[in-house]
Chain A
Amino acid sequence: MKKTFISALALAASLGVGSAAWADILVGIGAPITGPNAAFGAQIQKGVEQAAADINAAGGINGEQIKLVVGDDVSDPKQGVSVANKFAADGVKVVIGHFNSGVSIPASEVYAENGILEISPAATNPVYTDRGLWNTFRTCGRDDQQGDVAGAYIAEHYKDAKVAVIHDKTPYGQGLADLTKAAMNKAGVTEVLYEGINAGDKDFSALIAKLKEAGVSLVYYGGLHTEAGLIIRQMADQGLKATLMSGDGIVSNELASIAGDAVAGTLNTFPPDPRLKPEAKDLVEKFRASGFEPEAYTMYAYAAMQVLNDAAKAAGSNDTTAIAEALKAKGPFKTVLGELSFDAKGDVTRPDYVMYEWKKGDDGKFTYVQK
Chain B
Amino acid sequence: MDGEPMEYFIQQTVNGITLGSIYGMIAIGYTMVYGIIGMINFAHGDIFMLGAFAALITFLVLTGLVAGFPVVAALIVMMAVAILMASLWNWTIERIAYRPLRGSFRLAPLITAIGMSIVLSNFIQVTQGPRNKPIPQLVSEVYDVFGISISLKQILIVIITVVMMTAFWYLVNRTSLGRAQRATEQDRKMAALLGVDVDRTISITFIMGAALAAVAGTMYLMYYGVAVFTDGFTPGVKAFTAAVLGGIGSLPGALLGGLLIGLIESLWSAYFSIDYKDVATFSILAIVLIFKPSGILGRPEIEKV
Q: Hey, which bits of chain A sit against chain B, CB under 8 A?
A: 34-36, 38-39, 169, 195-198, 200-203, 205-207, 209-210, 212-215, 226, 229-230, 233-234, 237-239, 254, 257-258, 260
Q: Provide the residues of chain A in CB contact with B220, threshold 8 Å.
A: 202
The residue on B at minimum CB distance from A216 is: B2
**Which listed residue (A203, A214, A258) contacts B132, Cβ 8 A?**
A258
Give A213 to B266 CA distance when docked, in angstroms: 14
Contact A254 B131 (CB under 8 A): yes
Given A196-B274, A205-B266, A260-B137, the answer on whether A36 and B230 have CB atoms closer than 8 Å is yes
Q: Provide the residues of chain B in CB contact with A212, threshold 8 Å.
A: 2-3, 11
Give A192 to B83 CA distance when docked, in angstroms: 45
Contact B2 A34 (CB under 8 A): no
Contact A209 B12 (CB under 8 A): yes
Give A230 to B227 CA distance when docked, in angstroms: 11
Contact A230 B226 (CB under 8 A): yes
Give A230 to B134 CA distance when docked, in angstroms: 10
**In the complex, what's the smallest C-beta–C-beta distance from B252 to chain A, in angstroms?**
24
Contact A202 B132 (CB under 8 A): no
Given A206-B269, A209-B270, A213-B3, the answer on whether A238 and B131 have CB atoms closer than 8 Å is no
Q: Provide the residues of chain A in CB contact with B149, threshold 8 Å.
A: 238-239
Q: What total count of A-B pairs have CB within 8 Å? A: 106
Q: Provide the residues of chain A in CB contact with B129, threshold 8 Å.
A: 38
> Mostly helix, strand, loop or mixed at chain B's interface?
helix
Contact B8 A207 (CB under 8 A): no
Top 6 closest pairs, chain A to chain B, by CB:
A206-B269, A205-B15, A206-B266, A215-B2, A196-B275, A195-B274
Is B64 close to A, CB under 8 A?
no
15 CB < 8 A contacts A-B: A34-B130, A38-B129, A39-B131, A195-B275, A201-B234, A205-B18, A206-B15, A206-B16, A213-B2, A213-B3, A214-B2, A237-B142, A239-B144, A258-B226, A260-B136
Q: Mark B130-163, 1 if CB is under 8 A from A, else 0.
A: 1110101100101010000101010000000000
Contact B224 A202 (CB under 8 A): yes
Is B293 close to A, CB under 8 A?
no
Q: Mark B223-264, 1 if CB is under 8 A from A, else 0.
A: 011101011011100000000000000000000000000000
Give A7 to B114 CA distance when docked, in angstroms: 33
Q: Provide the residues of chain B in CB contact with A36, threshold 8 Å.
A: 130-132, 228, 230
Give A36 to B233 CA distance when docked, in angstroms: 14
Apart from A206-B270, A209-B12, A258-B132, 16 more pairs, CB < 8 Å: A36-B132, A202-B220, A202-B235, A203-B19, A206-B12, A209-B270, A210-B269, A210-B274, A214-B1, A226-B132, A229-B132, A230-B225, A230-B226, A237-B140, A238-B151, A239-B144
